[in-house]
Amino acid sequence: MVLWHPCASDDGDAINTFTIPSSAFSAGTNVIAVEVHQCNLGSSDLVFDMELVGNPIADVTLIPFGSNWKYLANNSRPANWETVGYNDVTPLLWPNGNAQFGYGDGDEATCVPSGGGGTLCLPTGNKWTTTYFRKTVTIPNTALYTPF
């Protein structure tokens, strides 16, 4: 599990890099589960995208930037949502879209609901503090990778 301060940056162009030990993954199907928190209810934007690069002899991108993800934007944290066995197939609850996700920056590929007023891509007022993102990734043999 990688933890980062929920108010890491207010710059939608900043990229935060994490190193995840290969022991955090299992051979086969894994779920990448990400919670994105607003720093405050009145924040004007929210941005999320992710790239997962494995480090074998040559870098292998397992999740490229701009990938398709499932997301939940209703400010309610489902039990066990970050596990492989969680059922995220209900499209009305867990729709999917391509990253970059968010609102307020103007360069989002998929605008996510904010719970505020205004429009989907340019919301106003108080917003939900958390949006959840899920993606399944298959790693055939974790022993072939040093940290991700």
Each residue's pLDDT tens digit, 75-86: 889 999 988 889
Q: Which region among 18-27, 54-63, 92-101, 121-130 has the lowest average model confidence (pLDDT)? A: 54-63
- pTM value? 0.65
Give me 85's structure tokens.
């066995």
Cα gap 49→47, rounded to integer Å: 7
CA angle 114, 14, 57 (to 5 degrees): 115
Q: Which region among 10-19, 41-50, 119-128 has the lowest average model confidence (pLDDT)? A: 10-19
